[in-house]
Amino acid sequence: METNRLIHQLRAWEEDIFKEWLRRMRASGCLNSRITNREDFSRRFAGVIAALDACAREPQSSRSARSAQDCLCLAQPLIEEARFGQERGMDLAFFLGYFKTLISCIEKRMPGAVPDLPRLAEVMAKLRQVADSMELTVVAGWQADRPDRTAKRALHSGTSDKLLGAIFMSVGEGILLVDEDFEIVRANQHACEIYGLQHENIVGADIRSLLEETGASLLVRYFSEIAEGQRRHAEVTCLYVDGKTFPATVTVTRSDLDGRMYWSLIVRDDTNQKAMEKQLRDEKQQIEEMNLTLKTVMKSIEQDRRDFENRVAAKIKTSLLPGLKKIDAASEASVRRSYLAILEEQLVSLTAGFEKELDPNLLKLSRTEIEVCRLIQAGCSGKDVCNAMKLSFDTVQTHRRNIRRKLGLSGEKLNLRVFLMNRIL
């Protein structure tokens, strides 16, 4: 139960342990944002805690019978992690420093996790035993792999200047030379920078370990298909030293020399290009949306223009032309002047944007009826109209009835003055 508390507390302190580990890595000059990142630390920290949990749960009676091989099994996930780093070209000294610093940070925290844990010393000793077993195994595996690589490098070191010149002729791109075993035998500096590897680590690495599975399969197929001097292009996803991916374009060319086949790979990191392409696509989409909005606005403006023209044409047809006919038919000068005044106001209203409604029925009124309408529109009472026009009350009422009939207001409850307020007289 106490051991469970210890494991639980260490997991809760993972962020603090990471900060301490990062501080030590920075102080030792080993800090690399692409390698010493939170994701990789969490994966390796989880492996250590899992091994610690497993060994701490062993029954007391069986611990004495456990061998070094048992410790190796507990450390197996961490050893696999080391193999992955080796395949990716990680330096042995860096990996061991990485791992030892992690163990040291955990050990420093353990006494404070559960101070009264009786078996704390045993658990710490077990953790150290697992760490030592892992370290020995990793070093042995690293060392055993070196002679074969060294021999291959010596074998290929005599590659002719002609072939090297063909490989490295493209300056500014990553260039790799791969042999029939898919092993990289030459690499320029730009290729090292693209993958985040030192030259001594990228040379001897399997080219397939630098690509995701789909890209590696495609590259193997190209190697088997293309003849000498042929060239193939492919867009693939490559792997950085820390396992992160980036898009790239690879150009593969085959060259034969001394009975052996070699493939030169020109690798171009497309990260920036893909980002720019995405930005261009987004901007294009925005422009298309703006064009669509503009087309909609222009269509609305065009429709408003046509509606305006139609309204003007209708007003001319229903109001102005009948007025002209009235003027032509009128015999008295005073009547013509009244109709001319109405037409003048209606023409002005056309240029003012129809601020008042044009009513063609007004042209049906006689001169006297128009004068009555103007007085009513001005707010005059029936008595005021009688006095102003020197007419009897009954005559004015007759004019009002005729006006309402001609304006289509007969039987309506609408007040005549209210109706005339928005009309031009």
295-307 residues labelled b (16+ CB within 10 A) or e (exposed): eeeeeeeeeeeee
Mean pLDDT over residues 99-115, rounded?
78
Architecture of domain 318-421 in this structure: Orthogonal Bundle (1.10)
pLDDT band for position 161 (cuts 50, 70, 90) = low
Q: Judging by DSSP bridges, how do beta strands 174-178 and 260-269 pair with one another?
A: antiparallel
DSSP state string for 98-113: HHHHHHHHHHHHHHHH
Q: Is the pLDDT of residue 166 over 80?
A: no
Which of 224, 298, 291, 234 lies closest to 261, judged by CA?
224
- Residue 383 has which token pair? 């008595």
CATH topology identical between 161-269 and 318-421:
no
- Note the pLDDT tens digit of each residue in 247-270: 999 999 988 887 889 998 889 888
- The CATH class given to the 161-269 domain equals alpha beta
* Whether the Cβ atoms of residue 207 and residue 87 lie closer than 8 Å to each other: no
pLDDT band for position 155 (cuts 50, 70, 90) = very low
Mean pLDDT over residues 280-292, rounded?
90
Which of 412, 318, 304, 303 lies closest to 364, judged by CA?
318
Residue that the structure tokens 């009555």 belong to? 372
- Note the pLDDT tens digit of each residue in 361-407: 777 788 888 889 888 888 888 888 898 888 899 999 999 999 999 88
Q: Is pLDDT larger for residue 309 or for residue 30? A: 309
Mean pLDDT over residues 347-367, rounded?
65
Which of 89, 106, 120 lies closest to 18, judged by CA?
106
Helices (H), 157-212: 161-167, 189-195, 199-202
The backbone region for 32, taken as left when phi is positive above 0, alpha when psi lies in -120 to 50, beta otherwise, is beta
Distance (Å, whole) CA 27 – CA 21:
10
Q: Is pLDDT larger for residue 127 or for residue 106? A: 106
Q: What are the domain boundaries of the chain?
A: 2-155, 161-269, 318-421
